Structure 1
Amino acid sequence: MASGNAIRGSRVGAGPMGEAERGESAPRIRIPFWCANGHETRPSFASDAQVPDTWDCPRCGFPAGQDRANPPAPPRNEPYKTHLAYVRERRSDADGEAILAEALAKLRGEA
């Protein structure tokens, strides 16, 4: 048996929803963007808005451009480097040996 509640599924103070309540929406244009994987996305912009050169693809996250034949290249991800890898970039093996010898001498009490 129905409860007879006429406002079921509505919140208090909710009125009619429509263009009259919200005002007129801005004229829109849909611009196609393509990523390096060939995915197409068509976000909509206000007709007087400045359209960006690139847009992130919602499927793969790569940057997408407006030229289908020439999409932007995907970003190159650098692999994670450990602290030791950064130290090896700054120091040569000879520098490392000298620092190690100095630290060992300090530990042994020779310095």
Structure 2
Amino acid sequence: MPHGSAIRGTRVGSGPMRPVERCDPAPRRPVTYWCAKGHTVEVSLAADVPPPATWDCPRCGQPAGLDEHNPPGPSRAEPYKSHLAYVKERRSEADGEALLAEALAALRRRRGEL
């Protein structure tokens, strides 16, 4: 009895052995992006989909654009925001006071029932 794997000779993550026999590949087109550092990124996209305006450069991580002579500038790092800062963006002081009053009233009702 032979030992080992039944799928010997293939690697994990490999595709079908003969993709031409099993399916027709989707039509694709190459799209070229340029970053501010002069790197060129060529991406193969579906032919019937409009390309995104920017693509991340795999070499430097900066955004790359479709215009070779006018690439987008470097991305600006957003400062760290705490959870409280995000909550304050979504809610006003009056909303916060109303939520606090509601939570305190529910807590007092539970304590009164015990």
TM-score tier after normalising by the smaller chain length: 0.5 to 0.7
The percent identity for this pair of structures is 51
AA matched with 1:29: R
- Deviations 1:58-94 (CA, angstroms, capped at 9, x unpaired): 10000000101100000123677xxxxxxxxxxxxxx
Report runs of 4+ in structure 1 exceeding 2 Å deviation.
15-18, 76-80
Distance (Å, rounded) in 2 between the aligned partners of 1:51 and 1:72 = 16
Match of 1:71 in 2: 71
Distance (Å, rounded) in 1 between the aligned partners of 2:10 and 2:43 = 31
Number of residue equivalences: 71
Q: Sort the Cα spacing of 1:70 and 1:10 in 2 relative to 1 into closer, same or farther, 3 A.
A: closer
Distance (Å, rounded) in 1 between the aligned partners of 2:32 and 2:43 = 7
Task: Report matched runs for 1:30-49 at 5 Å.
Answer: 30-49=30-49
TM-score normalized by structure 2? 0.53
Q: Is 2:14 the counterpart of 1:18?
A: no
Looking at CA atoms only, which structure, 1 or 2, has the larger radius of gyration? 1
Runs of 5+ unmatched residues, structure 1: 1-6, 81-111
Q: CA RMSD in A?
A: 2.5
TM-score normalized by structure 1? 0.55
Distance (Å, rounded) in 1 between the aligned partners of 2:10 and 2:41 = 35
Runs of 5+ unmatched residues, structure 2: 1-6, 81-114
Q: Sort the Cα spacing of 1:9 and 1:39 in 2 relative to 1 into closer, same or farther, 3 A.
A: same
Q: Sort the Cα spacing of 1:56 and 1:16 in 2 relative to 1 into closer, same or farther, 3 A.
A: closer
